Amino acid sequence: MDLQAVWFLLITILFTGFFILEGFDYGVGILLPFLGKNDKERRMIINSIGPFWDGNEVWIITAGGAIFAAFPEWYATLFSGFYLALALILFALIFRGVGFEFRSKEVKPAWRTTWDWLIFAGSLIPALLWGVALANLLRGLPIDASFTFVGSFWDLLNPYALVSGIAFLSLFILHGAIFLSLKVEGVIADRAITLAKRLWIPSLVLVLAAGGLGLFGTDMVDRLGILSGIFPLVAGLGIVATGWYVGKGQFGTAFIGTVIGITFSTITIFRGLFPRVMVSSLDPEWSLTITNASSSEYTLKVMSIVALIFVPLVLLYQGWSYWTFRKRIREDTTLEY
């Protein structure tokens, strides 16, 4: 039970890290066609995340691998139930990655504009669908006694999941706008700041709406309890602090505010799940838990040893990359993309 809980916690951390890091570059990709008014400005925007975007995606690959190895029943039911949604995310990410690499291979405006909009779509679709997916894990899905998903793609499109998806999307856009204000100089930063000032209140309203629907549409209240109930409160306060510090011109602190909002929104969902990993809407007894979806104790022990060795190395490498490419993008910066 202890190792199962540890691996559930580690998966929660991996998803949280993914949403924090990939969240801002999803946001930047979504804002690309709107904040960049010409090719030079769009190249500056892309170069702000150029050294980071592919490394950020490693977090979700690692999370998927951890689910596969630690909780194979969860992996099987999750990927069968969310097959179409995950396929959409995959294709979106393929076009997004190709867009980053291919847009500067031709100087024709039509070529570059096409890839810019594909980067936009490839950022928006995953940002929306990840929120939809997490909300559905908590709300419940039609899972039968054999842990088989017996519903359809349309079962995922319920009001709570859609509002949660839009809330995540708005948070990522706000996160990306503040990142741009820190990473890019000049008129792009000014536009990003203006957008952040306008967006933080709608983001707060959407997060509160998703939280309210979660309280009434799931058993989150019973699961969270009084102590854990502070998590959604802290998420909301993080977004409020973001708006406050954007208004004060303290964008580094504002960025921490969006990090807090994303972190505690994710923690709220996973804490509401625990010790379950997928809730059955057909019968609570058919829900997948960290016990009935788990690998053997020996497998978890071996995985724990491997994680203790390699996770710190990955963190050190990623920290080094952010430190190395910490400088702002200016108009005279040599642009790669």
Q: Which among 325, 278, 223, 299 is positioned nearest to 66, based on CA atoms? A: 299
Q: Is pLDDT of 68 > 70? A: yes
Span 2-324 CATH architecture: Up-down Bundle (1.20)
Cα gap 22→26, rounded to integer Å: 6
Among the listed residues 223, 333, 200, the one whose alpha carbon sits nearest the alpha carbon of residue 287: 223
Contacts of 198 (CB under 8 A, 6+ apart): none
Distance CA 38, CA 35 (A): 9
User: Cβ(123)–Cβ(53) under 8 Å?
Assistant: no
Tokens representing 230?
A: 């502070």
Residues 94-140 have pLDDT tens digits of: 999 999 999 988 889 999 999 999 999 999 999 999 999 999 998 89
d(Cα 156, Cα 307) in Å, to the nearest integer?
A: 33
End-to-end Cα separation, the chain, in angstroms: 48
pLDDT digits (tens, 9 = 90+) for 154-173: 888 889 999 999 999 999 99
Count the helix, strand and coil residues of the chain and give each as a percent rounded to the nearest 5. Answer: 80, 5, 15
pLDDT, averaged across the chain: 91
Instruction: Locate the domains of the chain by residue range.
Output: 2-324
Per DSSP, the residues of 176-240 read: HHHHHHHHB-THHHHHHHHHHHHHHHHHHHHHHHHHHHHHHHSSHHHHHHHHHTHHHHHHHHHHH
**pLDDT tens for residues 270-325?**
988 888 999 998 998 999 999 999 999 999 999 999 999 988 988 898 899 899 98
Which letter does DSSP use for residue 328 in this model? P
At 228 the pLDDT is 56
Q: Write the pLDDT tens digit of every residue in 320-330.
A: 989 998 889 98
**Per-residue pLDDT at 226 exceeds 60:** no
